[in-house]
Amino acid sequence: MTAITLSDGQSMPAYVAEPSTSPAPGLVLIQEIFGINKTMRDIADAYARKGFYVVCPDLFWREQPGIDLDAENEADLKRAFALYESFDEDLGAADCGAALTFARSQASCTGSVGAVGFCLGGKLAYLLATRHDPDCVVSYYGVGIEGALDEAKDIRCPVLLHVAGEDQFCPPSAQAQLHKAFDASKLVSICDYKGQDHAFARVGGEHYDPNASELAHLRTVECLRDHLGWTGSSKVAVDFAALWEEHVKYEFETRNHVDTLETMVDSAYVNHIPTLTGGVGKEALTEFYSKRFIPQMPPDTEMTPVSRTIGTDRLVDEMIFKFTHTIEMDWMLPGIKPTGKRVEIALVAIVHFRGNKLAHEHIYWDQASVLVQLGLLASDKLPVMGVETAKKVLDNSVPSNALIDRADRWRKS
């Protein structure tokens, strides 16, 4: 932990995560009621990998430095609420301001500093915007912001509020107050997440929703990019290409589901978009990979790379996926007996990483093209194509607009 000297001479501990290159935009990461636990350290490290200088102040230091509680543990949960009940928000907001000043003073920071807070930290992030001078602020399901709307007039920076529709700590009446106060604001934006509960972005938590969490994260990154001058880490500290290729090797070459799962975080999920096959979490993915995916991959399966794009936390692979339908393939063709026919399709994999492991995969392909090539869908009567869709990706000379030309002929006949 790093010591931050306060104006009264006291010392506040803080977890600091530095990026691989500097100077970098700064980020004050503001904790939930569980202290600087693994969840907060993981978030700090993830933002550092993206290219931020991250300072996460220990807000319970006056009560007991080093609080580290598990949100899923009943005893820890009671302890957390007790800490919250006795917590002085004014002192906490001042501590966040000190963390902001500290970040700006560091040689590793460009001087542009934003804040991201969760739960208790979501409220303090809002107060940071009203009482101090961050360059932007993001609040995840902040608790009690509606009680401090009289300070909204003092906001001088962009503020993004992520509001969970089913949050018991921010009920509909409170949400209505937020919208009434900020819907016409030029500085404050509210993103609503219908059907989501408090802490929907806490990985592994009871209310964790990967899709809502991902959407909120993308909106957060966009806010930080627009207002902190951040363009992403100039040096990718983790070799995502190597991690992905190792994962694919275990799937398609050694065909070992245990090794495959070792490349993924425990809370990972896989979604094959056209068929909704895959799974969420280690138990479900163990079942899927060991029974429905790896053993049901045709022996002549091959992949032709087309393009690859690598970002700060994800990889996008475009490829041509080829196989002969000689075995049942529940992951792609559930309930369809082998036809013995050859299939070639364009396929895109969007892979998100958390640290040095895969966090989720979204896999897309044209299911209509697969069914046409297997003789299960009539392309002469529907606006669908067969193997031509894959051929066109690799060869621009394949004619365009064939379906439009056919439709024109039908209109004239």
pLDDT in tens, 197-254: 999 999 989 999 988 898 899 899 989 988 998 766 544 457 888 999 999 999 999 9
Determine the pLDDT at residue 44.
97
Q: Which of 58, 167, 197, 313 is catalytic?
A: 167
Helices within 142-301 (DSSP H only): 172-182, 210-228, 240-252, 257-262, 282-287
**Percent of the chain clearing pLDDT 90 (strictly above):** 88
> Smallest Cα–Cα separation from 357: which of 234, 254, 268?
268
Mean pLDDT of the chain: 94
Cα Dmax for the chain:
88
Secondary structure of residue 61 in the 3-state scheme: coil
Give the per-residue pLDDT at 95: 97
pLDDT confidence of residue 232: 63
Give the whole-angstrom CA distance, residue 348 versus residue 243.
17
Does residue 198 carry a catalytic annotation? yes
Q: How confident is the model at residue 29 (pLDDT cuts 50, 70, 90)?
A: very high
Contacts of 238 (CB under 8 A, 6+ apart): 49, 353, 355, 356
The mean pLDDT of 329-348, rounded to a whole number, is 98
Q: Is the pLDDT of residue 278 over 50?
A: yes
What pLDDT is recorded for position 284? 96
pLDDT of residue 235: 46
Q: Are 331 and 298 in contact (CB under 8 A)?
A: no
- Contact (Cβ atoms closer than 8 angstroms) between residue 35 and residue 66: yes
Contact 130, 149 (CB under 8 A): no
Q: In whole angstroms, what is the distance from residue 413 CA to residue 401 CA?
A: 19
Residue 348, helix vs strand vs coil: strand
Q: With contact defined as beta carbons under 8 Å apart, do 154 and 131 qualify?
A: yes
Residues whose CB is less than 8 angstroms from the CB of residue 121 and which lie 6 or more positions away in sequence, other chains included: 29, 30, 31, 32, 59, 139, 140, 142
Burial of 163 (0-12, 13-18, 19+ CB in 10 A): buried
Domains contained in the chain, CATH given: 2-228 (3.40.50.1820), 240-412 (3.10.450.50)
Q: How far apart are CA 370 and CA 343, in angstroms?
A: 6
How many beta carbons lie within 10 A of that of residue 263, not counting itself? 18
Beta bridge partners of 35: 68
* Segment holding 318, helix H or strand E: strand 314-324
Q: What is the pTM of this model?
A: 0.70
DSSP letter, residue 48: H
Query: How far is CA 176 from its chain centroid?
Result: 27
What whole-number distance in Å separates Cα of residue 193 and Cα of residue 210? 12
Active site residue 167: yes
Question: Catalytic one among 132, 162, 198, 247?
Answer: 198
CA angle 298, 301, 302 (to 5 degrees): 175
Predicted pLDDT at 132: 97
- Cα–Cα dist 76/126, whole Å: 26
pLDDT of residue 237: 54
What value does the CA radius of gyration of the chain take, rounded to a whole number of Å? 25
What does the pLDDT look like over 67-87, one tens digit per residue? 999 999 999 999 999 999 999
